[in-house]
Structure 1
């Protein structure tokens, strides 16, 4: 069971949302909250639906019209979908970058700390000479 599993009858959902069952029916008619239906066509609300009903009540208390609330909920859903899409694309890009065979590798050069590009799978030879420096 997750937060989208429809388990609550209208009376229980109304009590959890602190609303009258008729209000839930009205919100269903206008599309603010759309519970799932059983085979007998009775409404079944999930925890997500109850949270959305509470959000509708909060926005209504702040003075938004029902149409304004519907639009806010619609935009919030759209933002969530887009955030999920961005996460998927970032994951795919990261995976692609790791799997590229022509990926560039950089190393510190042998003199002066410059950065040099090397072919993947190769190593730079290091100069192992010891230099003694005397103060002039």
Structure 2
């Protein structure tokens, strides 16, 4: 049985996926990406120049958030549209949301296997 995304460290997987998307060069990054704030409670744009590759989610407040903060839904929508253009994500007509394409799942599982190999190298047989 192969390695899937759920079998590896999420932080390492996210870094590897971002590197894959950047290396591929097919993801279209909007002109406004370097200067946009990701939510109204932020003062500045993200410090990381490659945030568009790594981030498409809401603010994580943990298990018991002290304040509710809405994130910028436009950013997540634009990232998903970019992934649709790369044929990694497609619209699901049954639920009205989006789902991974078979190619997208294959790419994610391949990256997960690479991350697993990097974190848990096999001993060399002599």
Q: Which has the higher helix share?
A: 1
Quick one: higher RCO (CA 8 Å, sep 6+), 1 or 2? Answer: 2
Greater gyration radius: 1
Give the TM-score taking structure 1 as reference length.
0.28
Higher strand share: 1
